[in-house]
Structure 1
Amino acid sequence: MKQIERYIFRRMSSLTFWSLSAVTLLVLTTQVLIRVNVLTTTGQAFGAFAMLAATLIPSVVPIVAAFALLIGVSQVLSSMNSDSELVVVEAAGVPPTTVLKPVLALSAAISLMVLVVSNFIEPWANGKLYDVIAEAQSDLFSVAVRSGAFMKLEDGLYVQVNEKLPGGELGGIFLSDTRTEGNETIYYARSGVIRKSEETDTNILYLVDGELQQQDLSNNRISIVTFSSYALDMAAFVPAGGSAAKRPNERSTLYLLDPDPDDYYYTGPKNMIQQELVKRFSTWTYPLAFGLVAFSFLGKARSNRHEQFQNGALVAAIALSARGLGFYSTEAAGISPVMEAISYLVPVSLIVVFGFLTISGRALTIPKAWAQLNNRLFDNLSGLLERFQGNREKPGEGRSA
């Protein structure tokens, strides 16, 4: 890179890093607060909170990285235009690729980072996250014994324990599971105990002498199974050793590409494995798309500062609309092949369209009629604000006289 290119790249990288850190911390705080009730109820140590936050970071970064890049690139280009740096660069006869190269380099680096995090780091972190939650849920049984009331383990999953028996056993266990849409499962056992499995290194709830009742809410059919012993994996509250114990976001990409034909998440009404694959292979393209969008609108020198601000607002609107459509289509990708195609089409379209405009040397801006209308609105608002401030100052001047 040339010196000017290194200068631009360094400024964009620094601002992108701090934007990514700030946005990640904000989103991370909300995610921790959603799950903090289980940890505080069970009296988990500070280490559990730290582990929970650490395992959530890889799932947050792929989502916010594209927006952090958009902030970094847009802010630096706008600042360079305000300080007349872009004017000087263009007046010196420097080709537009001088400004484009740092944008592409940073966008490609962020896209590569998101690809690696989504396909390698995030699945491992999600597995650790569920281990932390499962450990907290195990401790929550002790709280349920003391209170004798229904305790909420997660949405749709409740437990009640009547008493604690000698030897660490639990008496009168009642579990209600309505997490699966259209199905309600109720477990009742006279006694039970929680033990750690040596094979899977997970906590297993062993139920003794009880009943399993399943109701299909679509036709109200009820099936009842009586058992002498039954084992539940505390990590997901499914039969121990069952194929549904691991969620798709915990699985490796290689497994998702060739899943077990009997995997519940593959054979269920919603193909969540396909949805997870679409998410992993589409999210990484957004940083590159947003970098090209920002450069197309803000990479040229502008003499009108209002126009520069309006271009920035238009860039934000395009990015938010595209990402919102991407989120919606990805959620429906496991049901509709059309939505699966849209999930890839949205970022790829941005890359192709704005990449072509960038290569052809065309700089986009808002329409002149729109710019003139916005300028009049800005002028009218400024005039109203000045008159309002003047009216507020006059009474004070009269009283002082």
Structure 2
Amino acid sequence: MTLLERYLFKRAITYAAASLASLVLIVWIVQALSRIDIVKTSASAAGNIFWIALMLLPDLAAGVVPFAILIGAIQALNSLNTDSERPVIAASGASQWVIAKPIVALGLIGGLIILFIAHVIGPASASAFQNGLRSINADTITLFLQPGRFERVQPGLVVSIGAARGSTVESLVIADSRDEATDLTYFAREAQILEQDQQSLLLLYDGQLHRRNKSDGGISVIEFQTYAFDLAELRPTARGDWIRASERSTFALIWPDPNDALSQSRPAVLTEELTDRMTNWLYALAFALWAVVIAGQPRTNRQGTGPAMALGLAGGLGLKAVGFVTLSLIEESFIWVLVTYALPLSAIILNAVLIGRDFNLSRWSLFEKFTNASYRIGAAIGRWGPFRQSAQGTAGR
């Protein structure tokens, strides 16, 4: 890299790192607080909650890395215009790719980080997270539930036991109202916690399942000799899918065991997980190039930096949202796998073409309309009562 490229790269990676730390912290706190209710369930959970929440970090980081790169790159490019450095660079005859190279390098670094997390750290952390939940729920059922009392172990999930002897439970009742359409109630004369394939399972023996349809109130009763539950979420595992696709290695996703229950019953789930791991890193590069398209051209200070950031985030969120939709449709048809790959690749190609043609978005009529609308909205908010009173109070002091 030249001196100028190193200067811009240092700025961009600094802003991106700060954005990444902020985004991960915010999302992690939200995710951790959504599971804080398990601390109230058992004493051992209080010691494990930090470890379990920590296992969320790799996947959260991989999800927000593209947005951190987008924000950091736009901030770095905006600062060049704010300090009047970008017009000087343009006047010296430097091409748009002089600005784009360090941003693309940042996108490639982010993509490599996402690949490493997706294929190495992510499956291990997902498995550790689910096993932590299984351990807590197993302790809750066998050690901390009081016989004869109905305890809410999760929102919409109530459990009661008659007695507990080690890993064996007598007279187990599970009332599950988490489904919006159906209430499920399980009665078992006996239940036992077993380790199978390195996973903790709750096996119910000699019982009944009462299923009530919430729409019409209809009730059906099913008797069973054995019923298996995944202790991570206390959900049935009739299809043998307690080892989730997110917990499997990439090798196991590409070449699944032909005797594996999940690969036999729902092979599209494995394809969806593999496609997600293979395409996530492309968004980091696509967002980096999009940042150059949005904020890479010289601008005057009067044009401001807010519209570039707003439009950049809008474009990134829109592309990622469409990617989530196509990913969720893979179970319906294999064609959506190709669409999921095509989305970030087409964005990369389109942005590269725009940069190569020295496309100036600020001269585009739609961008001008968007900028004018942003300023009008900002002015309207400034004239709104609380903000106006605050401004007047500050001026009075």
TM-score between both structures, scaled by the size of structure 2? 0.82
Partner of 2:189: 190
Cα separation, partners in 2 of 1:244 and 1:180, compared to 1, 3 Å: farther
1:215–1:46 CA distance, 2 compared to 1 (3 A)? closer
1:302-322 residue CA offsets vs partner (Å, 9 max, x unmatched): 125326543332222211111
For the structure 1 residues 220 and 279, does the alpha-carbon distance in structure 2 shift closer, same or farther, using more than 3 Å as the test?
Answer: farther
Unpaired runs of 5+ in structure 1?
Answer: none
Offset from partner CA, 1:336-367 (integer Å, 9 cap, x none): 33433332222111101011122233333352
Task: Quote the Cα distance in structure 1 between the aligned partners of 2:367 and 2:184.
Answer: 58
Check if 1:350 corresponds to 2:351: no
| Corresponding letter in the other structure for 1:314 | L
CA pair 121-29 structure 1, distance change in 2 beyond 3 A: same
**Distance (whole Å) between structure 2 residues aligned to residue 61 and residue 94 of structure 1:** 35
Per the alignment, in what secondary structure is the counterpart of residue 226 of structure 1? strand
- 1:359 corresponds in structure 2 to 356
The answer to whether 1:171 aligns with 2:167 is: no
Asked if 1:339 is matched to 2:336, the reply is: yes
Q: What SS does the aligned partner of 2:43 have?
A: coil
Aligned length: 386
Instruction: Flag the 1:358–1:17 CA change in 2: closer, same or farther, 3 A.
Output: same
| 1:296 Cα offset (Å) | 1.3
Give the deviation of 1:160 after TM superposition: 1.6
Paired with 2:267 and 2:332, the residues of 1 have a C-alpha distance of 6
| Distance apart, 1:377 and its partner CA | 7.9
| Distance change (3 Å), C-alpha of 1:6 and 1:149 | same
1:297: which partner in 2? 294
How far did residue 105 of structure 1 move?
A: 0.5
* 2:44 aligned partner: 44
Alignment pair present for 1:278 and 2:303: no
Contact 2:39–2:46 (CA under 8 A) maintained in structure 1? no
Q: Is the 8 A contact 1:233 1:241 kept in 2?
A: no
User: What is the CA–CA distance in structure 1 between the aligned matches of 2:93 and 2:134, rounded to whole Å?
Assistant: 62
SS in 2 for 1:317: helix
The yes-or-no answer on 1:226 pairing with 2:222 is no
Q: Are the aligned partners of 2:147 and 2:160 in contact in 1 as well (CA < 8 Å)?
A: no
- Are 2:217 and 1:211 equivalent residues in the alignment? no
Verify: 1:34 aligned to 2:31, yes or no: no
Q: Verify the 8 A CA contact 1:38 1:140 in the aligned structure 2.
A: no
Please tell me whether residue 245 in structure 1 is matched to residue 250 in structure 2. no
The separation in 2 between residues aligned to 1:112 and 1:42, in whole angstroms, is: 40
Letter in 2 for 1:90: A
Aligned to 2:146: 145
Counterpart amino acid of 2:329? A
Contact 1:205/1:233 (<8 A) preserved: yes
The match for 2:312 is 315
* Matches of 1:336 and 1:25, distance apart in 2: 36
CA distance 1:267–1:107, shift in 2 (3 Å): same
* Alignment partners' CA distance in 2, 1:177 and 1:373: 48
Paired-residue identity, % = 26
Amino acid at match of 1:225: F
- Alignment match, 2:97: 97
Match of 2:126 in 1: 126
Mapped partners of 1:163, 1:340: distance in 2: 50
- When residues 179 and 250 of structure 1 are mapped into structure 2, their CA distance, relative to the original with a 3 A threshold, is farther
SS in 1 for 2:162: strand
- Provide the rounded CA distance (Å) in 2 between the counterparts of 1:4 and 1:31: 40
Describe the shift of the 1:62–1:380 C-alpha distance in structure 2 as closer, same or farther (beyond 3 A): closer
Equivalent position SS for 1:145: coil
| 1:101-116 alignment, distance < 5 Å | 101-116=101-116
* Aligned partners of 2:176 and 2:184 also within 8 Å: yes
Please tell me the residue identity of whatever aligns with 1:318. Answer: G
Provide the secondary structure at the position in 2 that maps to 1:259. coil
Q: How does 1:360-375 map to 2 (within 5 A)?
A: 360-365=357-362, 367-368=364-365, 371=368, 374-375=371-372
Asked if the contact 2:210–2:219 (Cα under 8 Å) also holds between the matched residues in 1, the reply is no
Task: State the Cα RMSD in Å.
Answer: 3.8
Q: In the TM superposition, what is the alpha-carbon distance from 1:279 to its structure 2 partner?
A: 1.3
**Amino acid of the residue matched to residue 13 of structure 1?**
I
Give how far 1:118 is off: 1.2
* Correspondence for 1:8: 8
- Which amino acid in 1 is paired with 2:26? L
Q: Which range moved further: 282-291 or 331-340?
A: 331-340
Letter in 2 for 1:9: F
- Look up the equivalent residue of 1:93 and give its one-letter code: G
CA 1:367–1:174: 2 relative to 1, 3 Å:
same
Are the equivalent residues in 2 in contact too, given 1:183–1:214 (CA < 8 A)? no
Q: Distance between the aligned counterparts of 1:267 and 1:220, measured in 2?
A: 31
Query: CA-to-partner distance for each residue in 1:197-244, whole Å, 9 max, x for gaps?
Result: 4x7554454555x22548698x987542336xx775534657899842
